[in-house]
Structure 1
């Protein structure tokens, strides 16, 4: 079935905004600028402040939800979407805490590894989501899903090896590369817990996806913004990249933005892209299929990798291609992408058998008629 113009627009929006989301975050990390009080120029490494921006983008989905409600209300006297639909907002607090923790860890890791490896290693979420769904949701995985998990593990090993080799040749510290990769995989455990919590406690209440994302964004934005205050005083030693060597110096970040306005542009790209990416992802699942969403999500890894190579953020390594293909195969197996192909093959074989049987009957019928 041919896609409509609206479906093509949604697919393009998801691919582009999803790519911009990671690339803009990495772009901000690559800037160097002076901080406050004429301090030395240093790299913009403020993962917790960047996470606040991401949650601000998610929070904007709540505004989009109410705009959608108002639009539906004007078109129909009894809208299908109701902002007063009863549900407990605190149900979103545990997933929001998971989202906040996982996002902060991933932004820290993004400073240590390449953008393409960052995106590829996020595929590890399949492993932990599958295992946790068996343990806590009582789900039984099919053989193809177990195979997909195994293939994904193999893909992670290949990507990790490629990251080590490219990191050593690209002047990065091997300790940073290893730590960054491990942090990304650790974050996927937390993301998987978030997904299981959402499925067990949130989705059964039939809450609109935009409202769900926006509510989680609200909790994440408020809590993490408040945490920036103690983070300003907690010493972090060499882990930090600011003059005060604290966990997060938000004041230093704003001073760097003032001295290098392009950082603001990068952060705005990150905030706006996460909002449009969530909207497009939800809409693609609804208008086309969840499988299409998975394929588009994998394609943005290619876009991120190509752009990173083009702007010189990383060096080409052939192992990354192999790693990406293996990860894509694992995701396809886990998400059942092979099933339509198998069904089509079965139908073709059934049609061939039926044609063969019809061909065998034809001469007999002809003889009887004569």
Structure 2
């Protein structure tokens, strides 16, 4: 079936904004500017300030939800389902997971390449699958277990590629690259806890996806903004990446933005893109399918990688190609993307349906939204 112009627009919007989300965050990390005391220029290393901007983007989804709801109620026959009433505090635990994971990932993005950052985020399916079995009593299909094993292999290959490139990379130290990769994987464990919490306590309340994203964004924005105050006084040595060597120096971030306004453009790109990415992702799931959303999310990794190579942000490494392909296969197996292909082959049609029905596949890939980027 041919896509409509609106569906093509949504697919393009999701792919574009999802790619901009990671690329703009990495672009901000690559700037150097003077800080508050007009000393020597130093790198813009403010992951927690970036995370606040990301949550501001998520929070804007709440405004979009109420705008759409208000517009729908003016119709003679409203079509939008606002969902059930719920206690907003239900979103506090997953929002705290989101806040922690996003902050860790922005720290890691300072240490490694944008493409490796995006590829390693695929490890979330390993921990989500295992936690779903342990806490949601879910039975994973054979293809999902195989997908997890293939994904582990892909992570090993990507990690090996980073190890090899780390010895030749002038932009990142080998120790920083390895630490960054490990932090990304650690963050995916927290993201998987977030997803399990959302499914166990949130989704059964039939909350509209935009409202869910916006509510989590509200909690993340408020809590992390308040945490910037104690972070200003917590010494962490050279790990801080700012002149005062504290956990986060928000004042230094604003001073650097004042000296180099292009940093603000990169941060706004991150904030705006995460809002549009969540909207586009939800709309793609609704208007086309969750399968299409997962394919577009995989293509996003390819776009980020291609742009990073074109801009000279990183060098080409053959092992990374192999790692990406293996991760792609692992993701496809876990999310059941192989079934439509098998169903078209007469001798394999039975295999396509033996692992579960289409509704289960859509549930695994859909759930209305994906974890945020900092999309998440």
Give the TM-score, by structure 2 length: 0.91
| TM superposition shift of 1:349 | 8.0
2:259 alignment counterpart: 259
Work out which of the two has the higher radius of gyration on C-alpha atoms and give 1 or 2: 1
| TM superposition shift of 1:79 | 5.6
1:19 alignment counterpart: 19
Aligned-residue CA RMSD (Å)? 1.3
| TM superposition shift of 1:86 | 1.6
Unpaired stretches in structure 1, ≥5 consecutive residues: 351-370
| TM superposition shift of 1:167 | 2.0
Cα distance in structure 2, aligned partners of 1:151 and 1:278: 28
Cα distance in structure 1, aligned partners of 2:32 and 2:267: 14
Cα distance in structure 1, aligned partners of 2:168 and 2:348: 50
Q: Conserved in 2, the CA contact under 8 Å of 1:235 and 1:247?
A: yes
| TM superposition shift of 1:39 | 1.8
Unpaired stretches in structure 2, ≥5 consecutive residues: 351-376
- 1:173-322 map, 5 Å: 173-322=173-322
- 1:135-146 map, 5 Å: 135-146=134-145
| TM superposition shift of 1:241 | 1.8
Q: Deviations over 1:11-48 (max 9, x none)?
A: 00000000000000000000000000212100000000
| TM superposition shift of 1:217 | 0.0
Cα distance in structure 2, aligned partners of 1:132 and 1:186: 14
| TM superposition shift of 1:78 | 5.1
Q: Conserved in 2, the CA contact under 8 Å of 1:39 and 1:243?
A: no
Cα distance in structure 2, aligned partners of 1:187 and 1:147: 23
Number of positions where the alignment pairs a residue of Structure 1 with one of Structure 2: 349
| TM superposition shift of 1:317 | 0.2
Cα distance in structure 1, aligned partners of 2:97 and 2:103: 10
Q: Conserved in 1, the CA contact under 8 Å of 2:46 and 2:250?
A: yes
1:52 alignment counterpart: 52
Change (3 A) 1:342 1:79: closer
Cα distance in structure 1, aligned partners of 2:329 and 2:194: 24
Cα distance in structure 2, aligned partners of 1:348 and 1:152: 24
Q: Deviations over 1:267-290 (max 9, x none)?
A: 000000000000001111111111
Cα distance in structure 2, aligned partners of 1:59 and 1:5: 28
2:372 alignment counterpart: none
2:373 alignment counterpart: none
| Greater fraction of residues in helix | 1
1:99 alignment counterpart: 98
| TM superposition shift of 1:348 | 8.8
Q: Conserved in 1, the CA contact under 8 Å of 2:112 and 2:180?
A: yes
Give the TM-score, by structure 1 length: 0.92
SS at match of 2:39: coil
Structure 2 residue 111 is the aligned partner of structure 1 residue 112: yes
SS at match of 2:38: coil
SS at match of 1:96: helix
Cα distance in structure 2, aligned partners of 1:34 and 1:82: 47
